[in-house]
Amino acid sequence: MPESPTDLLAALVRVDSTNPALVPGGAGEHALARFLVDWLAARGVHADLHDAEGRPSVVARVPGSGGGRSLILCAHLDTVGAGGMHDPFEPVIREGRMYGRGTYDMKGGLAACLLALLDATNANLRGDVVLTAVADEEHASLGMQSVLTRVTADAAIVTEPTELQVCVAHKGFTWHEITTYGRAAHGSRPDLGIDAISLMGRVLGKLEALGRELGAREAHPLLGHGSVHASFVTGGQELSSYPERCTLQLERRTLPGETTEGVVREIDALLDGLRADGDFRAEHRLILARDAFGVEQDEPVVTTVMRAAARVLGAAPRVVGQTFWMDSAFLAAAGIPTVVFGPCGAGAHAAEEWVDLGSVDRCRDVLIATIRDFCA
């Protein structure tokens, strides 16, 4: 049972928690969730396992004496795959950095949460401090959605990596599938065939124009512009035939204030414009949507983190937005004011991943300083 922050983080990295929805046969969160439960129990903190479709999350609570505000510390257990990495689950320390899969995204933040939760046991707080270490954030967020049916609080901090900056916004996304329909025929009979792939070319041209339009709209002060891109295109059966259908999967990155319904209407309108040509037939369906996130900078949890970080770091942290999506959006949608604050490093989802160990310590210090102010 590791005691030091570095030893704890190394122990977390050694437990393979590859998301099986991303990598068939991946280890999943079971072993890491059990490690957390045992580690906390050995230190007098009870933790429960919450199962969502066979994917366990951990919830632990340090209760206050009553009458104070409650605070969630949130991190995720799962990692992406480790293809191309050498010994990805054997942490290596060099020049103040720990290398290994999950060090940066986001077991460094998880270690800071665990240690801050232990610090809270001796802080004489009035409000509760709750740890939510959730499954499946890298895919469908099964864990966060399940935990939020059982847990709430006055505010939350997500410890995804932010380089010790205070993140108050991030982009959302929608995934779409468009299928164009032609008419199969022998390649020598253009009088009979309709090329579904050529029809999809018209869609791609419209999407390119939409991307330019998004870039010309008013920018979000922290996140810039929304965007759209084609991700997969499939179609055709053989060289000597007109293709009967073509399928495109695309991603639209969204900003706070943009809705899934609005994006669907935007893409439907694009297709309606092409249907004016009588030979154009297409279908559109939404695959998945995740809202963008934003919190007001004068929200109490934001100002408390800002003050705590300024004390710990010796200077006021920057307020930033992040391009990537996080579980903070689900917390905010549940009515829990949320801010993101985490350690420094690089290599999320990359072949070389590392976290700055000193920043993990400072993240823990900011968390406990925030806890003392917010939950007192």
User: What pLDDT shows up at residue 4?
Assistant: 87
Q: Which residue type, as a one-letter code, is found at position 139?
A: H
275-302 b/e with 16+ CB inside 10 Å = b?
eeeeebbbebeeeebbbbbbbeeeeebb
- In the chain, the percentage of residues whose pLDDT exceeds 70 is 99
54: Cβ contacts below 8 Å, ≥ 6 apart: 28
CA pair distance 81, 102, nearest whole angstrom: 10
CA distances from residue 176 to 157, 173, 286 in whole angstroms, order as listed = 31, 10, 5
Q: Tell me the pTM.
A: 0.94
- In the chain, the percentage of residues whose pLDDT exceeds 90 is 98
Q: How confident is the model at residue 82 (pLDDT cuts 50, 70, 90)?
A: very high
CA pair distance 235, 243, nearest whole angstrom: 7
CA pair distance 129, 40, nearest whole angstrom: 14
User: What pLDDT shows up at residue 342?
Assistant: 98
CA distances from residue 141 to 145, 156, 164, 334, 349 in whole angstroms, order as listed = 6, 17, 24, 14, 17
User: What pLDDT shows up at residue 3?
Assistant: 72
- Mean pLDDT, the chain, as a whole number? 97
CA distances from residue 326 to 7, 118, 368 in whole angstroms, order as listed = 27, 25, 22
Q: What share of the chain is helix, strand, coil (3-state, %, to 5)?
A: 30, 25, 40
Tens-place pLDDT, residues 182-219: 999 999 999 999 999 999 999 999 999 999 999 999 99
332-337 mean pLDDT = 98
- CB-based contact 88:338 (threshold 8 Å): no
Q: Report H helices in 66-168.
A: 108-120, 142-147
Quote the tokens at residue 297. 């900078």
264: Cβ contacts below 8 Å, ≥ 6 apart: 174, 176, 284, 286
CA pair distance 335, 299, nearest whole angstrom: 13
User: What pLDDT shows up at residue 2?
Assistant: 65
- CB-based contact 47:37 (threshold 8 Å): yes
User: What pLDDT shows up at residue 330?
Assistant: 98
Q: Report H helices in 125-259.
A: 142-147, 196-216
User: What pLDDT shows up at residue 1?
Assistant: 57
Tens-place pLDDT, residues 217-252: 999 999 999 999 999 999 999 999 999 999 999 999
Q: Residue 349: which of 38, 28, 9, 78 has the closest Cα?
A: 78
Q: How confident is the model at residue 276 (pLDDT cuts 50, 70, 90)?
A: confident
Tens-place pLDDT, residues 91-103: 999 999 999 999 9
24-63 b/e with 16+ CB inside 10 Å = b?
eebbbbbebbebbbebbeeeebebeebebeebbbbbbbbe
CA pair distance 97, 30, nearest whole angstrom: 27
Quote the tokens at residue 258. 């943009």
151-169 mean pLDDT = 98
Q: What's CA 8's distance to the chain center, in Å?
A: 23
User: What pLDDT shows up at residue 15?
Assistant: 98
